[in-house]
Amino acid sequence: MIFIVDSGSTKCDWLAIDNKGNQLLEKQRTKGMNPAILSKKKLYKTIKKNDVLYQVKDTVTHIFFYGAGCGTEKPRQLLKDVLHSFFSNAKAQVKEDTYAAVYATVGSSLKPAVVCILGTGSNCSYFNGINIEQRVKSLGYSIMDDAAGNYFGRQLIRDYYFNHMPQQLKVSLAEKYNMDSDFIKYNLYKQPNPNAYLASFAEFMFLNKDSEYIVDLIKDGIRLFAKNMILQYKDVLQTTPVHFAGSIAYFSQDEIKTVAKEMGFIVGNFERRPIEGLVSYHTNQLSK
Looking at residue 9, its pLDDT comes to: 79
Q: Residue 170: CB partners within 8 Å, gap ≥ 6?
A: 160, 163
CB 244 within 8 A of CB 271: yes
Compute the distance between CA of residue 247 and CA of residue 200 in angstroms, rounded to an integer. 12
> Residue 67's beta-bridge partner residues?
7, 96
Q: Is residue 10 part of a domain?
A: yes
Q: Is the per-residue pLDDT at 110 higher than 90?
A: no
Counted residue by residue, the chain has a size of 288
CA dihedral 85, 16, 244, 37 (to 10 degrees): -20
Please state, for a pLDDT cut of 90, what percent of the chain lies above it.
Answer: 78
Compute the distance between CA of residue 97 and CA of residue 84 in angstroms, rounded to an integer. 19
> Residue 92's beta-bridge partner residues?
63
Please state, for a pLDDT cut of 70, what percent of the chain lies above it.
Answer: 99
Q: Is residue 78 part of a domain?
A: yes
Query: How does residue 42 score in pLDDT terms, banded at 50, 70 and 90?
Result: very high
Q: Is the per-residue pLDDT at 151 higher than 80?
A: yes
Nearest CA to 120 out of 147, 158, 155, 160 is that of 147
Q: Is the per-residue pLDDT at 287 higher than 70?
A: no
Compute the distance between CA of residue 237 and CA of residue 277 in angstroms, rounded to an integer. 24
Looking at residue 41, its pLDDT comes to: 95
Looking at residue 201, its pLDDT comes to: 97
> Residue 212's beta-bridge partner residues?
none
Mean pLDDT lowest for which of 131-140, 241-250, 270-279?
270-279
Nearest CA to 265 out of 245, 236, 244 is that of 236
- DSSP-based three-state secondary structure for 36: coil
Specify the number of domains making up the chain.
1
Q: Is residue 197 part of a domain?
A: no
Q: Is the per-residue pLDDT at 277 higher than 80?
A: no
Q: Is residue 25 part of a domain?
A: yes
Cα–Cα–Cα angle for 76, 72, 21, nearest 5°? Answer: 50
Q: Is residue 50 part of a domain?
A: yes
Q: Is residue 38 part of a domain?
A: yes
pLDDT in tens, 64-107: 999 988 988 999 999 999 999 999 999 999 998 888 889 888 87
Compute the distance between CA of residue 220 and CA of residue 147 in angstroms, rounded to an integer. 8
- DSSP-based three-state secondary structure for 89: coil
Report the side by side order of strands in the sheet with 122-127.
Answer: 132-133, 122-127, 113-118, 241-245, 266-271
- The domain that contains 56 carries what CATH number? 3.30.420.40
CB 266 within 8 A of CB 242: yes
Host domain of residue 280: 2-97+275-287
Q: Is residue 26 part of a domain?
A: yes
Phi and psi at 28, nearest 5°, equal -100, 150
Q: Is residue 43 part of a domain?
A: yes
How many helices and strands (H and E) does the chain possess?
13, 10
pLDDT in tens, 183-223: 999 999 999 889 999 999 999 999 999 999 999 999 999 99
CB 236 within 8 A of CB 107: no
